[in-house]
Structure 1
Amino acid sequence: MNTLTYLQGYPESLLAQVTTLIEQNRLGEVLQKRYPLSHDITTDKALYQYTQEMKNQYLRNAAPVNKVMYDSKIHVLNNALGLHTAVSRVQGGKLKAKAEIRVATVFREAPEAFLRMIVVHELAHLKEKDHNKAFYQLCCHMEPQYHQLEFDTRLWLTHLALKWKR
């Protein structure tokens, strides 16, 4: 089950269903049916605006996000899909903290719902640093289908990994 790297920790019964779809060469077809729409958020500027709109809708009182960008090195270096970082700098006699969100470049070509899930996840880190119950409640507040989208994103990444192997 090396092909199911992104799905570790899920129940065996679910993994068996995914394996069946892979063996029947239908995983991509199923995902395409479920998520037919792509998006046009392909530039860092568009991603920043997309993220700011979501932040303004759900997290008005959270710390500002100073930078949002696609990052081609994220997946390789950190085994992550997105990163939220706080960069602290001394300017004059003051300490300035700036929040940055980086999203793996692979999401430029992902269905919009998967990009939304990643942005929601990274925005939730503005309020909750750890992946605890409060963190996931906040994710579900911003995106009610968060857990389904997270699973489906993992399926999509599995499909991509299989395509790249061929």
Structure 2
Amino acid sequence: MSRIGYKEVVLPEGVEVKRDGNTVTVKGQKGELTREFSDQISMEVEGKTVKFDRPADDNKTKALHGTTRALFHNMVVGVTEGFKKELELQGVGYRAQMKGNKLVLNVGYSHPVEFIPEDGLKIEAPSATSIIVSGISKEEVGDFAARIRLTRAPEPYKGKGIRYVGEFVRRKEGKTGK
């Protein structure tokens, strides 16, 4: 059984937490994040530590307890350090490049695929076969990186496609003749 909800979140130097009912705003040197949490979980800010507590021990409340603490911790890490996802392109002729603030992908379609970053996200293409998505919201960074990956997900026969750095793609054997 996980007890992650009972772990205290220690606020680093320069991080401010404001509460307005169930809405919590975390402000740091990289930016500001706001999220609305469930009213079933109580939150106590004591100096530089934040504690979460649950009123009951039913399964839904237990799950919500750990989730609330993890989401808040991700907000704190986001406004202090930020998050990033790295993607790599594998395939002959597959390439990524930046045109202004747009990411342009050539991944085997008859047309280039363009991505415009949302507010708070930053996209880089340090080389023709690598992409870096960074920002302060873990949820938005992961979602945007997943959408880029879905443009051409890695296929199991030749391994071509867009994958996360370090992702293992299980290869399959092709058909054999008689």
TM-score, length-scaled by structure 1: 0.30
Which is greater in Rg? 2
User: Which of the two has greater strand per residue?
Assistant: 2
Q: Indicate the structure whose relative CO is greater, using CA pairs within 8 Å and at least 6 residues apart.
A: 1
User: Which of the two has greater helix per residue?
Assistant: 1
